[in-house]
Amino acid sequence: MRTFLFLIATVFFSFSALCQKSTTFKPGEIWPDNKGVHINAHGGGILFHNGKYFWFGEHKVEGKKGNQAWVGVHCYSSGNLTDWTDEGIAFSVSNDPESEITAGCVIERPKVIYNKKTGKFVMWFHLELKGQGYKAAKTGVAVADNPTGPYNFLKAVNPNAGVWPVNYNGELISKKFPENLKDWSDEWIQAVKDGLFVHRDFEKGQMARDMSLYIDDDGKAYHIHASEENLTLHIAELTDDYTGFTGKYIRVLPTGHNEAPALFKYNNKYFMITSGCTGWAPNAARLLVSGSVMGNWEYIENPCVGTDKELTFHAQSTYILPVEGKKNAFIFMADRWNPENAIDGRYIWLPVQFNEMGNPYLEWIDEWKLSIFDKK
């Protein structure tokens, strides 16, 4: 009888331990969902809708092959940001070999925003065509009636074909660039600054690789992407329904080599954290600031402090999440990639802190709770 009671008690306690909600963030560790499976939503972003958070990210599979899209975009939901329920695949790759989103293409950094006017959920993602490496540099868009999907693929484009950036010096529009400039020569760097690639891609549309979305206070949405061979970021305005480009776009820090953009607004300033361009390998993050989304972005510094600050704690930015119901509370979300076994990529979530200058900074914390934002 005793053994039986002991057995019952053990089963009960293990079960309640399993059901117990975890309230801490443990950056870099396995992060189990409600089924006990490591969350599979890499290069992700978060939508807050009707009191719930929805996390969208790249569904990776095992091995090196996992760097391509074989399944689609995975969605999870949560009320408290630490416990996540698996909501399944919100956007699926196609099994039609002719489709741009056929299995084996590359779908990266999906982000979802809600359009109040149309009542639709709009997902944008970086798309590369199957078997073409990173040549296509397109951005794709899909829409859904529910946050968890299914999202229907509308189109993929190289944005802003046939239009010049709004902050482009008019004289450069008629500039003729010398041919065969040697990559990284001083002349080449100057030519890229002057818009060599904007000219090259003018008819077909601009390149769009690492991307993010941002909705400003007036409801206007922006698509931020690494363009011009990853040398220059572009920030482009989206149409009112968020499914297209208006043609209004700016170049940000030409030749600055920024990717993995993540934006947020604090104290009337717009901040952006980016990375340098070293593929899956981590590098030092960069902090930029501007008075408006389409304004004049300036580099401030590496926002990371402490050990591994030069490697962004072995991770790369993907999103900055404003915490609902808390003032000036933002979570920096980054990926610790594992290109050899893509599914085992880890998530680095850290609270954004602010220094006496009012600038954001990031420091490593092994384990933390949302209450960190209350201690100010």
Interface with ligand GAL by CB under 6 A: which residues? 43, 108-109, 210, 259-260, 277, 279-280, 316
Which of 279/291 has CB closer to ligand GAL?
279
**DSSP-assigned beta bridge partners for residue 46:** 55
Question: Which residue blocks in the chain are alpha helix, DSSP H?
Answer: 2-19, 186-193, 196-200
Tell me the C-alpha distance between 375 and 293, whole Å.
30
DSSP 8-state code for residue 11? H
- Output the six-digit token pair for 305: 């402090």
Residue 283 carries which DSSP code? -
| Closer to ligand GAL by Cβ: residue 132 or 190 | 132
Tell me whether residue 86 is exposed, middle or buried, using C-beta atoms within 10 angstroms of its C-beta: 0 to 12, 13 to 18, 19 or more: middle
Q: DSSP 3-state assignment of 126?
A: strand
- How many Cα atoms occupy the beta-carbon half-sphere of 315 within 13 Å? 26
Which lies closer to ligand GAL via its Cβ, residue 275 or residue 353? 275
CB of 43 to ligand GAL, least distance (A): 5
Q: How far is the CB of 50 from ligand GAL (least distance, A)?
A: 30
Question: Please, which residue, 191 or 207, has the CB nearer to ligand GAL?
Answer: 207
Q: How far is the CB of 12 from ligand GAL (least distance, A)?
A: 45
C-alpha 74/C-alpha 87 separation (Å) is 8
If DSSP codes are grouped into helix, strand and coil, which group holds residue 193? helix
Distance CA 261, CA 273 (A): 6
Q: Give me the residue whose beta carbon is nearest to ligand GAL.
A: 279
In the complex, the smallest distance separating the C-beta of residue 230 from ligand GAL, rounded to whole angstroms, is 8
Q: Tell me the closest approach of the beta carbon of residue 35 to ligand GAL, in angstroms.
A: 26
Q: Which is nearer to ligand GAL, 77 or 312 (CB)?
A: 312
Q: Which is nearer to ligand GAL, 123 or 163 (CB)?
A: 123
Chain centroid to Cα 149, Å, comes to: 19
Q: How far is the CB of 13 from ligand GAL (least distance, A)?
A: 42
* Least distance (Å) between residue 318 CB and ligand GAL: 8
Determine how many CB atoms are found less than 10 A away from the CB of residue 270.
20
Between 348 and 365, CB nearer to ligand GAL: 348
